[in-house]
Amino acid sequence: MTMKERVDSLLTRGVVDVINKEGLSQRLLNGEKLRIKLGIDPTGPDIHIGRGSTIRKLREFQELGHTIVLIIGDATARIGDTSDKTDGRRLLAEEEVLENERHYLEQMGRIISLDSAEIHHNSEWIDKLDSKTWIELASLFTIQQMVQRDNFSQRIKNNNPVGYQEGLYCLLQGWDSVMVKADVEIGGTDQLFNLNAGRKIQHHFGQKPQDVMMLQLLAGTDGRKMSTSWGNVILITESPQEKFGKIMRLSDQLIPVYMEATTMIPMQRVREIQQLLERGNANPMEFKKELAYNIINLYDGEEAAKQAQGYFERTVQKKQAPETMPSLTTTAENLSVKDIIPYLVKANLVKSKLEARRLLAEGGLYANGVRLDNNFDQIVTMPKTGIVIQVGKRRFLRLTPEV
């Protein structure tokens, strides 16, 4: 790739908009070394692949020789950014934020070089803000601007409370940009107000306003924006098999979106797949497998991707039991369905006996490939080789007689 092609890809792939795109492109082509800011509020311990795609965009900047500036929002996390929320966020304790941060950095290290990045905690400067600066920051915005934000106005309309501290969030995020002298800030489209606030605050304090790159927000497994708060996420820490299975359950129309945002599949191939899907003359499952393979290859390596695909094809497409699975022993020669359920809990295939009973009622429990009836007293014979209990589509447990 030429430098122009790399810059064009950097500014377009997975990108919805760039404020001052032409100027940023020219600065990149001129070889100017820039400070690229990303703020992260560690409100949970895990990173999902939506956030992972944002961090991968940082890696592209890093590979071009620019400085990555990570802002760990240990101060702002106590407020919580509600840009995309219909309710206020729970205020976090300092200890919880620090524990989440530890997990965040460990996972980010899989994607970018932390050794060559700047890492700051915004409590370094936010905890030192004096009343004069607070008032100066607040004077740059109006109450009308705050309440006209889409999520705030909708909450007010629905008589849901909007905490006063929530309106302070954009001031603090903008102050972060001043303190680190950011040239570029990256965020999702839901961050537009906060990102522009940073530009305004920088200008007020005599700095060149940062350029802003807004990335495409990924839909989660339920079609809403991917969010840890909603539990509709694909976490980069999940097992390759679990990631593969979740990706295979995505809506077909998300295939090209995910390919563009979360993989390195050439854009020519992404556009080709999009056209085939629109014409309706191709099998979406094969494209999902290609997508899942590429995502897992990025985070877990090629061998893990091969194994995850093989696992899916055996256990779902061919409905075979996997080669490896949890195993427990039992002294019973024959087991009733009621007797089997505690083993499922012990092996962590279900969270509780209640969940197991619900799956049984829905026809989701099998013994050696035979669906179990919704009857706790049904007897399952225990052969010398043991039995394989299947829970749902992809969870298995081998029960064998104790020797």
| 388 beta partners | 398
Tell me what the mean pLDDT of segment 104-111 comes to: 90
Cα–Cα nearest to 316, from 399, 364, 245, 367: 245
Contact between residue 384 and residue 314 where contact means Cβ atoms under 8 Å apart: no
- 3-state SS, residue 256: helix
CA 268 to CA 261: how far, in whole Å? 14
Tell me what the mean pLDDT of segment 269-290 comes to: 92
Architecture of domain 240-317: Orthogonal Bundle (1.10)
* Yes or no: domain 3-220 corresponds to CATH 3.30.390.10: no
Contact between residue 272 and residue 25 where contact means Cβ atoms under 8 Å apart: no
pLDDT beyond 50 at 88: no
Give the model's confidence band at 372: pLDDT under 50 very low, under 70 low, under 90 confident, else very high: confident
Number of residues assigned to the chain = 403
pLDDT at res. 276: 94
Q: For tokens 């339920």, name the residue.
A: 222
pLDDT at res. 96: 75
pLDDT beyond 90 at 69: yes
Q: Is the four-CA dihedral 335, 336, 340, 342 of positive or negative sign? A: negative
pLDDT beyond 60 at 80: no
Token pair for 220: 């989660």
Contact between residue 46 and residue 53 where contact means Cβ atoms under 8 Å apart: no
Q: Is the four-CA dihedral 69, 73, 75, 81 of positive or negative sign? A: positive
pLDDT at res. 87: 46
Residue 361: CB atoms within 10 Å: 10
Distances, alpha carbon 300 to alpha carbons 126, 129, 147, 221, in Å: 37, 42, 44, 20
Higher pLDDT, 165 or 243: 243
- 3-state SS, residue 259: helix
The alpha-carbon radius of gyration of the chain (Å, integer) is 25
Contact between residue 88 and residue 163 where contact means Cβ atoms under 8 Å apart: yes
Q: Provide the b/e sequence for 41-79 (b: ≥16 CB within 10 Å).
A: bbbbbebbbbbbbbbbbbebbbebebbbbbbbbbbbbbb
Residue 245: CB atoms within 10 Å: 21
Contact between residue 3 and residue 38 where contact means Cβ atoms under 8 Å apart: no
Tell me what the mean pLDDT of segment 112-120 comes to: 95
Tell me what the mean pLDDT of segment 49-71 comes to: 95
Domain boundaries, the chain: 3-220, 240-317, 327-401
Mean pLDDT, the chain, whole residue set: 88
CATH class for the region spanning 327-401: alpha beta
